[in-house]
Structure 1
Amino acid sequence: MKVANVETMRNIDSYCINELKIPGIVLMENAALKVVKNIDTKKYSSFCIICTKGNNGGDGFAVARHLYNLGKCINVFLIGNEKNMSNDCRINYDILKNLGVKVDIIDNSQQIEKVKSAIYFSDMTIDAIFGTGLSRDVEGIYGDIISLINENSKYVLSIDIPSGLSGDTGKVLKNSIKANKTVSFQLYKKGFLNYEADEFTGSIIIEDIGIPSIAINKFNIRDFIITDTIAKNTLKIRNKYSHKGDFGRVVIIAGSVGFSGAAYISTQSAVKGGAGLVTLACRRELQNIMSSKLEEAMTVDLANDQKLEELIQKCDAVAVGPGMGNNEFTLNILKMLLNKVRSTLVIDADGINVLKGRLDILKDRKCKIIMTPHLGEMSGITGLAMHYIKENRIDIARKFARENDITLVLKGYNTVITDGYSLAINSTGNSAMASGGMGDCLTGMITSLAAQNYTPFEAACMAAYVHGLCGDRLSENMFCVNASDIISQIPFILKDILYK
């Protein structure tokens, strides 16, 4: 599922209408039919449909016609007036009037009580006021109507986007509809990805309204949401003649006194992620503990420079940072790896923290880099406030990845993965997974897949998706899910995606 901003959606619509000669009224009719498809007409019998004179209002008038044809009780309102009504909106408006359906025009605050009464006596309010193109603050009678809808509706369905929500940023333009469901069209809107937008969109349904793929592909949209289909098409089926050497060698550098769990979790998740050979390089005081705890992975003393260098030269992916501490020792290890590693280096946790004010050391490396910060770590290395990053995750992540020539995994709900050009949003995972060690688990999974001949972007996308899917499946029966639970499920979920 691709993600588009407002300008891209406008360009796609224009190309369909002006170049492919698909009449806009056809797309509008398709949109209306898909909205009606998402209404339980057995449960809901009376509707208040609130429209304006733009194309979003035209969708609303078309929806009203279909509900009328189904024998439903409808109250239809036009907010504002008929002047400068879009051509397609005018067509559906005129059809309604020709059918004898009354459309009440509300153009001043004295008439608002009529709308309030209709909302109160309706099972559902349908919001067809503003579409994705809205860029100004919602004020005056429009703001009053939106407040009226929010305060008096039993259930609200928004067409394309809740009126008053920015399609690009997901921010409220002074006032916004709070929908129970949003039926949007063809592509996921960038604004929906803002953490605050969920309060206004309710459940989001994306419906195909007949826009040809040629129109979408023309605009080279490189942002997408990772789905099961994408995962199935990206993950590789194993050749029956393969052996452990074919599935990569991994070195995990992690842990310190008091943080042995980070070393164990990241190493074990690399094993369960399918890497052929996994070695944990840790401090000497942890090695005996880790050797007895890890059954399939090997261990090496981090102080054994010769052995560590031999492993690094042979390995297909290295991870550094989990549980190591934000200190000079970790920084020196990272500098060494940037100089020695020729494959893929995954930098997590304290490996990221030691880069604060030192991002320049990334420039002269010979390896590919995957970096996996959460919001706090991202704030530390960029100097940007967490709330600002949270509101602008996509743009900040893409810019940072491109400037530093890395693949970035900005963790959190709807994790963002980008190489600076393509950008993926993970669709799996939930708050039951909010516990220590989850990031270490993801690091091991990313490193494991990177060693199995996936590109850094593919490895990050697939690890994030599988990691979250494990949590989703487990949370169906568990109140909280920890990292060891996830690790136990990794092989089963991978198999399920590939063969179900």
Structure 2
Amino acid sequence: MKVGTSQIIKNIDKYCIDNIGIPGIVLMENAAIKVIKNIPLEKFNNFVVVCGKGNNGGDGFAVCRHLYSLGKKVDVFLIGEEKNMSKDCYVNYSILKNMGLRIHTINNIEDINNLRETLERSDITIDSIFGTGLNSKVKDIYSTVISVINENSSYILAVDIPSGLDSNNGKVLGNCIRANKTVTFQLYKRGFLNYEIHNLLGELIVEDIGIPEFIEDKFHQKEFILDEDMVRSKIGVRDKYSHKGDYGRVAVIAGSKGYTGAAYICTEGAVKSGAGLVTLCTREDILESLACKVSEAMLISIEDEKKFNEMIKKSNSIAIGPGMGNSEDTFKILVNVIQNSDCPLVIDADGLNVIKNDINILKEKKNNLILTPHLGEMARLIDKPIDYIKENRIEIAKDFAEKYGVVLLLKGYYTIITDGESLIVNSTGNSAMASGGMGDCLTGIIASLLAQGYSPLKAAALGAYIHGYCGDKLSKEMFCVNASHILRYLPYGMKKIQNL
């Protein structure tokens, strides 16, 4: 699924109209039909449609016509007068007038009271006031109308976007519709990724309105949301003649006294997701206790410098950081690995925490790096507040990845994966997974996929999807899902994705 900004949508519409010859009124009609498709018409009969003067209002007028033709009771409201309507909006407005439908205008307090009374009698309110082009604060009568709709509607369906929401960043522009369902068109709006707006969108449906894919691709900026089809097509089928050497060697550098669990979980994540050979490199003083738990991976001591450096050289991927401790010693190990390894690295947890000592060490890499911070770790990496990162996740992630030449996986709801150019948003995972060890498990999975030959961006994206997919499946029957549950289910989950 492609993600787009308001400017991309504007460019696509303009190209369709000016270069291909698809009239704007046709796109508007297609949009209206898709809105109708998403209304349970067998259950509802009374509708209020509130329209603005732009193309979003034109969508609303077209929806009115279809509802009226289906025998539904429709009350239509226009905020203001017909003056300064967009061309295509005026076409659908005129059709309604020619059909004899009364269009109520909203200009004063008396009109507002009429709207309020009508809303109270209605089954569904359809919001077609503002579309994706809104970029200034909602005020005056528009803000009042939005408040009245929110306060007096039984159910609200927003056309393309809840009116008052900035489609680029998800910020509320003064006042905003609180929809029960949003039917958006063609592209997933970038602003919908904002953490704070789930209670404004309601159920979100993305509908195709007949724009050819090659036109989307012409303007689209390589921003995607992962879905099952995309992931399934990328997971390779194992050749029947293959052996463990074909699926790569993973070195997991993790653990310290008191943090053996992180090392174990990360190692098992690599094992359970299909790596051929996995070696846990850890501290001498916890080696024996971990040897009792890890049965399908090898173990070596970090203090055995000869063996450790040999392992760094012969590995196909390395995971480093979980449970190592935020210390100068951890930083020295990380620098050694970055400067001397010839394979891609996944850096997580304490590996990220110590980078702030000298972040430019990232530029000394000999191979690809994947960094997997959560919001707190990202805040420490760039010395910015967590709230700032929440509000600007995409821009921050892309800028950081481009500046340091890394793949960045910024964890959280709608995990973001980017190399600075392409951006992939993960669609799986849920709050039942909010527990210690989940990040360690993900790091092991990504390292395993790297060793199996997937590119860094693809390994990070697939790893995030698989990890969240397993959590989603388990949480259907479990109140909370822990890393150990993910590890047990992981091979089954990957097979299910492959066979979907």
Is TM more than 0.5 here? yes
Q: Which moved more, 1:441-450 or 1:99-108?
A: 99-108
Match of 2:262 in 1: 262
- 1:423 partner amino acid: L
> In 1, distance between residues paired with 2:45 and 2:274?
54
Give the partner amino acid of 1:215.
Answer: I
Question: Contact conserved, 1:156 with 1:179, CA < 8 A, in 2?
Answer: yes
1:280 counterpart letter in structure 2: L
* Deviation per residue, 1:17-67 (Å, 9 max, x gap): 110010001000000000000000111111110001110000000001111
CA gap of 1:478–1:419, structure 2 versus 1, over 3 A, is same
In structure 2, the residue matched to 1:341 is: 341
- Residue 5 of structure 1 corresponds to which residue in structure 2? 5
1:365 is matched by which residue type in structure 2?
A: K
Aligned mates of 1:386, 1:407 — CA distance in 2: 20
Question: In 2, distance between residues paired with 1:282 and 1:308?
Answer: 10
CA distance in 1, matches of 2:228, 2:41: 30
Question: Counterparts of 1:58-457 in structure 2 under 5 Å?
Answer: 58-457=58-457
CA contact (8 A) 1:415 1:426 kept: yes
**Are the counterparts in 2 of residues 256 and 325 from structure 1 also a CA contact under 8 Å?**
yes
Where 1:293 maps in the other structure, the secondary structure is: coil
CA distance in 1, matches of 2:272, 2:81: 63
Structure 2 counterpart of 1:241, one-letter code = Y
Distance 2:402 2:363 in 1: 12
Aligned length: 500
TM-score (norm 2): 0.99
Give the percent of matched residue pairs that are identical in Structure 1 and Structure 2.
55
CA distance in structure 1 between the partners assigned to 2:95 and 2:351 by the alignment: 64
Deviation at residue 3 of structure 1 after TM alignment: 0.2
**CA separation in 2, counterparts of 1:362 and 1:427?**
29
CA contact (8 A) 2:428 2:468 kept: yes
Report how far residue 357 of structure 1 moved: 4.3
- Secondary structure in 1 aligned to 2:414? coil
Structure 2: distance between partners of 1:28 and 1:220: 21
* CA deviation map 1:148-189 (0-9, x unaligned): 011111100000000000000100001000000000000000
Do the aligned residues in 1 keep the contact of 2:4 with 2:220 (CA within 8 Å)?
A: no
Q: Who is 1:53 aligned against?
A: 53
Cα 1:136–1:430, aligned 2, differ >3 Å: closer, same or farther? same
Letter in 2 for 1:162: P
| Matched-pair contact (CA < 8 Å) for 1:97–1:103 | yes
Instruction: Using the TM superposition, give the Cα deviation of residue 108 of structure 1 relative to its aligned residue in structure 2, in angstroms.
Output: 2.1
Instruction: Check the 8 A contact 1:357/1:381 in 2, yes or no.
Output: no
Q: What is residue 35 of structure 1 aligned with on the other side?
A: 35
- Runs of 5+ consecutive residues of structure 2 not aligned to the other structure: none
CA–CA distance in 1 between the matches of 2:351 and 2:205? 39
| Partner Cα separation in structure 2 for residue 75 and residue 198 of structure 1 | 28
1:290, distance to aligned residue in structure 2 (A):
1.1
1:461 equivalent in structure 2: 461
Q: Once the two structures are superposed, what CA deviation does each residue of 1:71-125 show, in whole Å capped at 9, x if it has no partner?
A: 1111100001100111111111111111111100112233100000111100010
2:8–2:220 Cα contact (<8 Å) kept: no
Work out the CA distance in 2 between the residues paired with 1:439 and 1:278: 18
SS of the aligned residue for 2:184 comes to: strand
Q: Secondary structure at the match of 1:294?
A: coil
Q: Which moved more, 1:84-93 or 1:264-273?
A: 84-93
Structure 2 distance, partners of 1:183, 1:421, is 29
- Structure 1 residue 221 displacement after superposition: 2.5
- Partner Cα distance (1:455, 1:164) in 2: 40
**Distance of 1:479 and 1:499 partners within structure 2:** 27
Once residues 499 and 147 of structure 1 are traced to their aligned partners in structure 2, the CA distance between those partners, rounded to angstroms, is: 48
Question: Within 1, Cα distance between the matches of 2:299 and 2:10?
Answer: 56
Structure 1 distance, partners of 2:95, 2:239, is 61
Return the letter of the residue paired with 2:236: K
Equivalent residue of 1:240, what SS? coil
CA RMSD in angstroms comes to 0.7
Assess if the C-alpha contact under 8 Å between 1:65 and 1:96 holds in 2.
Answer: yes
Question: Residues of 2 paired with 1:63 and 1:242: CA distance?
Answer: 57
Report SS of the residue matched to 2:334. helix
Q: CA–CA distance in 2 between the matches of 1:20 and 1:107?
A: 39
